[in-house]
Amino acid sequence: MTALLIDSNTCLLIVDAQYGFMPGGGLPVAGGDAIVPVINRIAPRFANIVLTQDWHPADHVSFAINHPGKQPYETITLPYGEQVLWPKHCVQGTPDAALHAELQVAHAQLIIRKGFHQHVDSYSAFVEADRRTSTGLAAYLQARGIQHLYLCGLATDYCVAWSALDARAAGFEATVIEDACRAIDLNGSLAKAWADMAAAGVERITSDQI
């Protein structure tokens, strides 16, 4: 293994590197599987690694199939705001929800499962879409003395961006590794995500800068 990155105050956050978001999955992100070798190349540089895992019940509110007459990528209004309706994906205990088998991150210390509440979606690794329900990640990182997160995974414009923005809101430094991510880019969502992250002080790098 190469030298660990920087110090113990840094953590690599791998967001939703699951088959459900890879080609052939329930909600495939174009080129999603291309992030795996990039992550494997940089992961040995990090002493601390946390992964997230989308973990939905089959009757989850975000699935278009659970709303008669609605199609994937339409939106509805829920008590917490606008919700995109997604194809059914990452259902608990299914192969679609599994982390990619070729990820080489055996030294990761924590997996945060999100999206398991039936009536609330969850993009961010920190706070669910109602913006009230915490995953506990911020408290864990603070207890470990971690100050800087490097983020990668799927998808850039949803779960990665929301996680980066919430990391900044919780007081962490945040850096997104662009080539270790892929985007959905729904109706301009990618450009908006990068603009929002830049405004919040999220740094943007490529893996060759690590």
Question: For 138-171, how does the pLDDT look when each residue is reduced to its tens digit (9 = 90+)?
Answer: 999 999 999 999 999 999 999 999 999 999 999 9
Domains of the chain, each with CATH number or no CATH: 10-209 (3.40.50.850)
Single pTM value for the model: 0.95
pLDDT given at position 5: 61
pLDDT given at position 1: 41
SS3 114: strand
Q: Is the peptide bond before 174 cis (omega within 30 degrees of 0)?
A: no
Which are the catalytic amino acids? 16, 114, 159
pLDDT given at position 6: 63
pLDDT given at position 8: 87
Cα distances (angstroms) measured from residue 117 to each of 2, 35, 166, 182, 200: 39, 28, 19, 26, 28
Measured on CA atoms in the order 175, 179, 185, 188, is the torsion positive or negative?
positive
Cα distances (angstroms) measured from residue 142 to each of 60, 87, 121, 128: 31, 35, 25, 19
Spans of the chain below 70 pLDDT = 1-6
